[in-house]
Copies of this chain bind each other. A is one copy, B any other.
Amino acid sequence: MSQQKHIFHHSFSIKKNDREELHGHKSYILWFTGLSGSGKSTIANLVEKKLHEMGISTYILDGDNLREGINQDLGFSSEDRKENLRRIGEIAKLFVDGGIVTLATFISPYASDREKVRKKVRQGEFIEIYVKCSLEECENRDPKGLYKKARQGEISNFTGVSAPYEEPENPEIIIETNQKSVGECVQQIINYLKHNGYLGN
């Protein structure tokens, strides 16, 4: 038998609710899902800025700090995408446990992967935000030139072009970035948080 079977649970004194009390607000995940180019990072950045100005402790998990760090061993195969999201879900859970409002911006095209993250935390701690934007509009924006490359076959398994995107069926929030301004989308999220008691004291 290896050491693996012998994990003992230490009882630590400081718990999630102590950290929430110190920070003056609840902790939860704001999960931004949507096509590449839909505006996930832009919106999340501005939401984080607003929350920070209100004195709320926040952190953003995104491709930048994960794909080049903990998930640098993973590619974009279906299996690696699953493992990528599994780890992201576990990290988001740790941050929530740490009393932090955690913003996560990932295309996360599969409903089942998003549901797995939802189930890792308590009810009400996973707020799914569908950043909705038509493929046409995303492709028209193409801020990174990725759609063009995907159409030319230079990138494979590209969500919306050569890989599926499963729309959320019951997200807590839907923001339509090709119908509303960025400012309106941000305000819609802040309003949701306010009206549902997520903004603390």
A58 engages B157 (CB within 8 Å): no
Q: Does A134 count as interface, using CB distance less than 8 angstroms?
A: no
Q: How many residues of A contact B (CB 8 A)?
A: 59
Residues A52 and B155 in contact in the complex (CB < 8 Å), given A59-B98, A93-B69, A100-B98: no
Q: Mark A7-37, 1 if CB is under 8 A from B, else 0.
A: 1111111100011001100000000000000
Chain B residue with Cβ nearest A55: B22
A182 and B132 CA atoms in complex are apart in Å by: 55
Contact of A87 among B11, B58, B70 (CB under 8 A): B70
Residues A48 and B12 in contact in the complex (CB < 8 Å), given A1-B155, A22-B55, A23-B57: yes
Q: Mark A42-86, 1 if CB is under 8 A from B, else 0.
A: 100110110010010111111111011110000110000000001
A8 and B59 CA atoms in complex are apart in Å by: 18
Taking CB atoms, residues of chain B closer than 8 Å to A2 are: 75-76, 155-157
Residues A52 and B7 in contact in the complex (CB < 8 Å), given A75-B2, A91-B94, A98-B59: no
A14 and B87 CA atoms in complex are apart in Å by: 23
B1 engages A49 (CB within 8 Å): no
B57 engages A69 (CB within 8 Å): no
Q: Does A168 count as interface, using CB distance less than 8 angstroms?
A: no
Q: Does A108 count as interface, using CB distance less than 8 angstroms?
A: no
A49 engages B13 (CB within 8 Å): yes
Some 18 contacts from A to B, beta carbons below 8 A apart, are A2-B155, A2-B156, A3-B156, A6-B146, A6-B155, A7-B63, A7-B68, A11-B45, A19-B59, A22-B55, A23-B57, A57-B98, A69-B94, A70-B86, A70-B87, A87-B87, A91-B91, A98-B100
> Which 8 A/B pairs are nearest by Cβ-Cβ distance?
A70-B90, A59-B98, A10-B41, A69-B90, A2-B76, A3-B76, A13-B49, A14-B52
